[in-house]
Structure 1
Amino acid sequence: MHLSRTGRRGIGYVGTAPAYALRQQVVEPIGEARPSWQIWKELGEQLGLGQYYPWQDMQTRQLYQLNGDHALAKELRQKGYLEWGVPLLLREPESVRQFTARYPGAIATDSDNTYGEQLRFKSPSGKIELYSATLEELLPGYGVPRVRNFALKKENELYFIQGKVAVHTNGATQYVPLLSELMWDNAVWVHPQTAQEKGIKTGDEIWLENATGKEKGKALVTPGIRPDTLFVYMGFGAKAGAKTAATTHGIHCGNLLPHVTSPVSGTVVHTAGVTLSRA
């Protein structure tokens, strides 16, 4: 988690047993750094959209989420996690019956004695909508799904994908010495079939290479990945900015990703093709 800010989602609902979970700020941000919620709120106010941000900070926003229950907010900040103590599966009548018996003040159930209607999306239809008339009116051609096919890899390459690990939130906390001790490297996941074809064993040094860049790492042979795909956790092998012992090794994912971005959201392409060889 981010130690310098309160979670912008505020209070979360997690697990099969309803619970409140709260991420709280524990250190002051450095310099003029601001949390993203504050940036969006201030921009909205400058644009005359302040009515959509009727709270002053994360603490008051959390009170909105808790329906103004100050006692509950105080207890949650003290404990960080509060569980209701009984599972609630919204579409299971027996689970709902047990929950409402424990908490008679809960909202009324649906006609089928479930809370299925609570699972509706906040779209006009209450369902997943693939077409947006509002967006189409504002940006013609963008209100409907558009597919642009392009090759993610060449014939002789393997798919290269990445992901995050809980130890290193958003792939950024490898700079923290204690967390670096828990996870020091990001080995490349290689399927046993692919490893056999390449003569690679777990722990071997390997090269990943494509037209964008070249990275050296270590192999982790595992059936947890497809034969045509390689996987690594992001956040290692930093090439610029602050450097510590924790960032001078490992695979740097960005150095292997094509420089392609979405024209609207700016989202980068996270799948690329790479060749795999022993170092």
Structure 2
Amino acid sequence: MVDRDIDDGATVGAAAELAGVTVRALHHWDEIGLASPSVRTPAGYRHYTEEDLQRLYRIVAYREAGLGLDAVREVLDDPTADIGATLQDQRSQLAERIHDLQQLDKRLERMSHAHERGILLSDEEQAETFGADWDARRSEQARAVWGSSPQWAQFAERSASRTREQWQSLSDAMSTLQRDLGEALDEGVIPGSPEANNLVERHRDVFSHFFPLTRQMQVCLGRMLESDPGFSAHYDGIRAGLASWFRRIIDESARAHGIDPNAATWQ
């Protein structure tokens, strides 16, 4: 315990302990003229009087209320200062900070859920948005395979801020593209032709809403759409042979841009 009944005042260390602050803080307040020890002992040491200590207690009280040192100085030294108005202003600022932190917490929550779930729509909303044959477990399956990849992180980051309306717009764009792919196959569009290359570019543009899709990555994706039973069944369900034809037009477009499809990697 600190003996407060010291005739020649409290030392810096004792005052710091009484006020519940550090000696460094007291030195700083002394340097800026906010609170200084007002007596000097015969040995030349500076001590805090009872009045000095009372000022320290007030400084600590207002600091704990969140006031900056300049505001504390004004409250203590300006006789015209409206302490109530100052505190009310501090409360208003605090309310704004609380609101900002709550909004940040919501964003962090959505980001966290997006990294875990991928698409932040309920199973029912996903069925309504992507079609009755959509399997809501696809996101979970995708995370199991690619959850540690940069592309999954990018997908989650975009998913966290995407609204249901935006998902619907993206789903509509993908459906339109798949319909046009089927019609192009019916019309005998040749891989490598301008029409086929335009469809490949549209696919890259639509798919890049999930994560940036390079041409090499698109080639790898085309292989997967053809080889994966689930994806190939989906595309071949639109038109027989569409999965393989789609892979071929992607390969030919890649060749036109100097990429060997047989050597393409996920990069």
Q: Same fold (TM over 0.5)?
A: no
What band does the TM-score fall into relative to the shorter chain? under 0.3
Which is strand-richer, 1 or 2? 1
Larger Rg: 2
> What TM-score, normalized by structure 1, do the two folds share?
0.17
